[in-house]
């Protein structure tokens, strides 16, 4: 058996992650989906090309919610390559009322029902509702031939539904948006600080680390911290916080579990799920 046949057929890559834009690829090595398109189309296409992919390999775009850092590139991206776009009906309504996706042919938009699994490219996809102040905000759970991934981003609070979706995944992309101290001492206006830390804002390093340490099991292959704030966090602080929580709960991550923050602006190579 050569090295490549040992690798999982289900892959993930990130083209951008953070408050300035988000876009991920989830799928096989030759076809799959984008989750969000929150940076300019050129950056997304460059990220695809880096992994020997192009928009021709993209069979659908799943949207988490209507905030601009998740939909900014959607219009240009689908102009030359019309790809079906899936989102919660409230998110679609939000997009219809805004300007960012005005020129997109309405026939490309498809409504998804949370907790109703559907299939694209043989990948089972389940959207689940999350507490956030974007319209129709959802996370996604994926299952391809038993390889599982949950993407949980832009979440004010980890409720029962989200926790369940995280527990059933062997691969996790979870928000670690801000360091509590940096946010408190930072220059953001009080009202914005309240919004970020509130139940419909974002997850702090500590909130997400505490839960990851609680649900961690040695079968977990990848834990990726996402949507790090540019002003209120650093990758080092996010990672340090996670290891502190592991230590507190006497958890020793297995050597086969990769744990890393997703870069804010750079694209990654394939992460094998």
Residue 133's contacts (CB-CB under 8 Å, 6 or more residues apart) are 156, 195, 200, 201
**Order of strands across the sheet that contains 118-120:** 118-120, 123-129, 138-144, 147-152, 171-175, 222-226, 258-261
Which residues of this protein are in contact with Zn ion, per CB under 5 A?
67, 69, 134, 154
**SS3 at position 202:** coil
Of 171 and 229, CB closest to Zn ion = 229
Q: CB-wise, 105 or 230, nearer to Zn ion?
A: 230
Terminal-residue alpha carbon distance, the chain? 19
Residue 190, SS3?
Answer: helix
Burial of residue 59 (number of CB atoms within 10 Å: 0-12, 13-18, 19+): middle
Specify the residue, 137 or 220, whose C-beta has the smaller distance to Zn ion: 137
Q: C-beta of 79: minimal distance to Zn ion in Å?
A: 23
Beta bridge partners of 27: 11, 32
> Minimum Å distance from CB 252 to Zn ion?
32
Residue that the structure tokens 């890393």 belong to:
260
Compute the least distance from the CB of residue 68 to Zn ion, in Å: 9
Nearer to Zn ion, 69 or 207 (CB): 69
Whose Cβ is closer to Zn ion: residue 22's or residue 165's? Answer: 22
For 130, how many CA atoms within 13 A lie in the half-sphere containing its CB?
33
CB of 153 to Zn ion, least distance (A): 7
Q: Cα–Cα distance between 37 and 17 in angstroms, integer?
A: 11
To Zn ion, the closest distance from the beta carbon of 254 in angstroms equals 30
Instruction: Kindly tell me which of 168 and 265 has the beta carbon lying closer to Zn ion.
Output: 265
Shortest spacing between CB 141 and Zn ion, in angstroms = 19
Residue closest to Zn ion, measured at CB? 67
């Amino acid at each position: 058996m050569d090295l490549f046949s040992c690798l999982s057929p289900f892959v993930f890559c990130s083209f951008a992650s953070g408050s300035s834009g988000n876009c991920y690829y989830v799928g096989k090595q030759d076809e799959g989906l984008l989750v969000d398109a929150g940076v300019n189309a050129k950056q997304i296409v460059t990220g695809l090309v880096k992994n020997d992919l192009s928009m021709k390999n993209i069979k659908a775009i799943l949207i988490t919610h209507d905030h601009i850092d998740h939909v900014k590139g959607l219009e240009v991206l689908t102009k030359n390559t019309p790809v079906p776009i899936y989102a919660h009906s409230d998110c679609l309504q939000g997009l219809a009322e805004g300007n960012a996706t005005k020129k997109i042919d309405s026939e490309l938009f498809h409504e998804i029902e949370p907790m109703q699994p559907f299939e694209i490219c043989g990948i089972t996809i389940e959207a689940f509702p999350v507490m956030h102040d974007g319209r129709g905000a959802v996370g996604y759970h994926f299952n391809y031939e038993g390889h599982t991934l949950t993407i949980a981003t832009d979440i004010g609070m980890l409720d029962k539904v989200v926790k369940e979706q995280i527990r059933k995944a062997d691969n996790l992309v979870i928000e670690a948006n801000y360091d509590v101290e940096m946010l408190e001492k930072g220059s953001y206006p009080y009202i914005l600080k309240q919004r970020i830390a509130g139940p419909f804002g974002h997850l702090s390093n500590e909130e997400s680390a505490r839960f990851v340490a609680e649900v961690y099991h040695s079968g977990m292959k990848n834990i990726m911290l996402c949507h790090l704030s540019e002003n209120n966090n650093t990758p080092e602080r996010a990672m340090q916080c996670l290891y502190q929580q592991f230590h507190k709960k006497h958890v020793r991550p297995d050597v086969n579990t990769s744990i890393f923050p997703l870069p804010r602006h750079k694209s990654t190579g394939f992460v094998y799920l």
